[in-house]
Amino acid sequence: MTVDVEDYFQVSAFEQHIDKSGWDSLPHRVVENTHRILDLFAKHQVKATFFTLGWVAERYPALVRRIVAEGHELASHGYEHVRVTQQTPQQFRADIKKTKQLLEQTAGKAVIGYRAASYSIGANNLWALQILEEEGHLYSSSIYPVKHDLYGMPSAPRFAFQPDNTQNLLELPITTLKILNKNLPCGGGGFFRLYPYLFSKAAYQYLNSVERQAGIFYFHPWEIDPDQPRQHNLPFKSRFRHYLNLNRVESRLDNLLNDFVWDTMQNVFLSTPLAKTPS
């Protein structure tokens, strides 16, 4: 179970419409929404991994400390949600180093996991995985093995693997369901809001019982917030993707937490030996 801790105005779909220089002047809702998620997890006795922006941790250190105090795993989501495809190797290294140090200083615990903004590590920038390892990360969850207009690496393994260009780093791809030789995204986010809940439930049941694999689920604090400020200058596709079924997410999450057993990325994946990437 994973949460990408970012506010509604920080999503990649809004980057051409909301300038970063204005982020501090906007209403912030990430703290209240994340506390609601923590309360929900406490109700179900679930531990999760919170991939947190350094920008959020810097402004709301008490939120980070609550995450850690309640037994959840803190991981890095980069400093301010810049996609890896928009960074040089030098910029990427500086970003992940800064964020890791900030999170560790705030939480008083080691940060070993990383998730790229908008799953922006793929076939053309696998160099980022080597840099993550060099900077002290033990795993990444940054590749989505699907074909998508904004991200995706369909040729990547569907399940946890060790990339060829790393010694020990593990890549933990977002969950997919293989249908007719194509990977169908079903790991959470907008797809969880798009599909009927029974489909998501059936997909994870198949993954667990037939493929005998653990699934990775992700969502964002803004996805449980149908009352968030609306942006009116968006293209139809971005508006549809962002606002679809926000009013249904919390009840669906309640069902998901009841129907499956969940834990942190570290607890689920880091004790199992994994295969190298097939060449």
Please spell the DSSP secondary structure of 213-264, one letter per residue: -----EE-GGGG-TTSPPPSS--HHHHHHHHTTGGGHHHHHHHHHHHS----
d(C-alpha 240, C-alpha 154), whole Å: 24
What length does the chain have? 279
Scan for tokens 């959470």, then name that residue.
188
pLDDT category at 16 given cuts 50, 70, 90 is confident
User: Which two structure tokens, joined as six digits, stand for 195?
Assistant: 């599909």
By mean pLDDT, which of 166-170, 239-243, 258-262 is the weakest? 239-243
Would you say the pTM of this structure is higher than 0.85?
yes
The string over 5-43, giving b where at least 16 C-beta atoms fall within 10 Å of a residue's C-beta and e elsewhere, is bbbbbbbbbbbeebeeeeeeeeebbbbebbeebbebbee
Asked whether the beta carbons of 111 and 77 are under 8 A apart, the reply is no
Does the pLDDT at position 205 exceed 70?
yes
What phi and psi, each to the nearest 5 degrees, are found at residue 223? -80, -10
Helix (H) or strand (E) holding 73: strand 73-76
**pLDDT computed for residue 277 by the predictor:** 35
Asked whether the beta carbons of 16 and 8 are under 8 A apart, the reply is no
Q: Which CATH class is domain 2-269?
A: alpha beta
Scan for tokens 């970012």, then name that residue.
6
**pLDDT computed for residue 161 by the predictor:** 96
By mean pLDDT, which of 73-82, 143-152, 165-174, 201-210 is the weakest? 143-152
Nearest residue to 256 via CA among 35, 24, 37, 26: 37
Percent of the chain with pLDDT over 90: 87
Q: What is the mean pLDDT of residues 241-258?
A: 95
pLDDT category at 147 given cuts 50, 70, 90 is confident
**pLDDT computed for residue 54 by the predictor:** 98
**pLDDT computed for residue 13 by the predictor:** 84
d(C-alpha 220, C-alpha 118), whole Å: 12
108: region left, alpha or beta (phi > 0 left; psi from -120 to 50 alpha): left
pLDDT category at 232 given cuts 50, 70, 90 is confident
Scan for tokens 């890549």, then name that residue.
171
Percent of the chain with pLDDT over 70: 97
Helix (H) or strand (E) holding 140: strand 139-140
What is the largest distance, in Å, between two alpha-carbon atoms of the chain?
49
What phi and psi, each to the nearest 5 degrees, are found at residue 144? -110, 110
User: Which two structure tokens, joined as six digits, stand for 54?
Assistant: 């350094």
**pLDDT computed for residue 148 by the predictor:** 74
